[in-house]
Amino acid sequence: MPDKLILTDAEWRERLTPEQFQILRQAGTERAFTGKYEKNDATGVYLCAACGQPLFESESKFHSGSGWPSFTRPAEPGVVEEHRDASHGMVRTEVVCSRCESHLGHVFPDGPRDQGGLRYCVNSASLAFKPEDN
């Protein structure tokens, strides 16, 4: 695991777009069905848009119908961390990048049963996509 990446808000604002800052650093959410990776079916790896850590592989991506990119599992154990999120009058499980602690989305127990039953529901703005080399 790489060392933690800790930056000030000013440094994050220099690295990220305003939308990315709002989602990654302030735990925001993009509107459903608007993210650039929601319908992406290309083969490759999804990285943290803030620090570049590999988070999810395309083979674990599935179309959940939720409006956000959905994955059955992280690329490797320990690349995401889970935290209790009681915001907005709900109790959910937030997922963040383990390297830079950026907000990615939430994990729910309603994913494909034959693949572990989890659905990592992730904002496209939290991700960068690296296509597989051909």
Q: Which residues are catalytically annotated?
A: 121
Report d(CA 46, CA 57) in Å as an integer: 6
Contact criterion met (CB below 8 Å) for 35 and 68: yes
Residue 57: which of 123, 134, 127 has the closest Cα? 127
Q: Cα angle vertex 121, ends 119, 125, to 5°?
A: 155
Report d(CA 21, CA 13) in Å as an integer: 6
Contact criterion met (CB below 8 Å) for 131 and 43: yes
